[in-house]
Structure 1
Amino acid sequence: MIRTLHILLFLLVSLACRAQTFDTLAIYFALDSDRPIVNRTTEYTNYEQSVPGMLNVVRLEAHCDTTGSMEYNDDLAQRRMDAVLKLMANDRWDVSGAVKKIYSERKAGEDQNYSHDIYRRVDVYIKIQPPTNAQLLAMKLNAFAADTAQITQIDLTILFHGGTTIMMTESIPEAKALKDFMLAHPEIHADIHGHVCCGDNYPLSLGRAKLITEFLMKQGVVAKRLTYQGHSNYQPKVWPETTDEERKQNRRVTVDFKKVR
């Protein structure tokens, strides 16, 4: 199970590195059926388990094979469309803004490589939006909570104004995601570590770790579940730090999470 957690985190980081993109999800049907074929091996299940807000359905297209009359296939395509909309609504997809198009057998009749089976489907066009830092942190934390691993370390991407312990406004959603997780999982303790770049500055590293700790306490996280410490610049994430990006990576807060039953 620990290996499963590592795989999950790798996939989450990969998602975060993607630019906005589009994908097409095909949901298939048996002959003359308006019942979607969905099980644990189908592609739909993988999307169904994704985080709400990252995926946006922009278009649905319903198809049929050329068996039967046009009138019959128009009705069948509409029933297949309705079945997919109901399925996705039950799984809390937002399809309200999606374009819905009934092609029935029209595209099948134009396809020189036509095959009955592949046209018994509804195509779902999905816009994939990379997760925000707050969403990505929530995904990592929830993966840890669901796994059998007892400890894990996660780098926060919380930013501070240069040379201060003042959190930048853009980092507040990530701090809130950390708070939400800690409140939802009272069995988990957090040891918060502050780091700096560009030279020895233990007070600043300690102050940043303390800031996150005090933020969590003010939001209702019990103090006995939290510890903090500073490491100055003695544990850099990247070395040597010769670019602005490398220095930015070293100005960080890491958290060791531990399950305490």
Structure 2
Amino acid sequence: MKNLFFFFAFSMLPGFINAQAKTIIHFDSNKSELRSDAVKVLDSLIVSLKADAQYLINIKAYCDNTGEDAPNQTLSENRAKTVADYLNSKNFSKTFTTDGFGESVPIASNDDEIGKAKNRRAEITVQDITIIKRAPQKETLAPVPEDKKTFNEKSSLTDLEVGKTLVLKNLNFEGGTAVLLPEGKPTLEMLLRTMQENPTLVIEIGGHVCCFDDMPLSIYRAESVYKYLLRKGIDKGRMTYKGYSRNKPIFIDDKDESRARANRRVEITEIKK
């Protein structure tokens, strides 16, 4: 499964990013094969996209609550892969990320078959992006100012005062996307352990962007961390997420790439110990 740590060596040009409406298809119970109506929807999606454009396509798949957690997680991952495989089979050579969420994010009640049918779904989100290739290079991150505390291996959320905020160290994003850079994985794992070891801890997850105002993108960034913790078993009642667009930059002047990367971030605010 390609997940949120999928990384590609491209540089995004701000101002050419256009997130399209979400496309949703549905599956039969306990199946990952595409239904005929789903095939028609995907074919229509392909026709609607420009042949010469560059796209980032995110495929998220889900289940209803029938069955056990582990098989449902695998089923949702297989559903996402099925969609990607179908698009690839149509010579639709684009950049994909796929993710499965099991039964953790229902959009309807699982108490009846109508609701369950809505939850057995895949959501396909397309970003139209203008990109230029660049040679791989070592990127540096501007140091976070001293008045901004960071969450790392030497810090603890439990030592933080209620209402105070920590920057998740090294949890940064590729420009113009909610795709986490690989170096952020240890920080996510450390945050997960902190939540597991402190079962009364309640947090807000705040997403931020650089360079231009983009409230939806800041929400997606916070949501990516929220859903990671949700998939790992953290109760949704212990977390909220919110986007701040570019309203709370670490660096006001973020024309330099290292400062821009520092502003593309997620912060944790302690709500309750």
Give TM-score, length-normalised by structure 1. Answer: 0.44
Give TM-score, length-normalised by structure 2. Answer: 0.42
Structure number with larger C-alpha Rg: 1
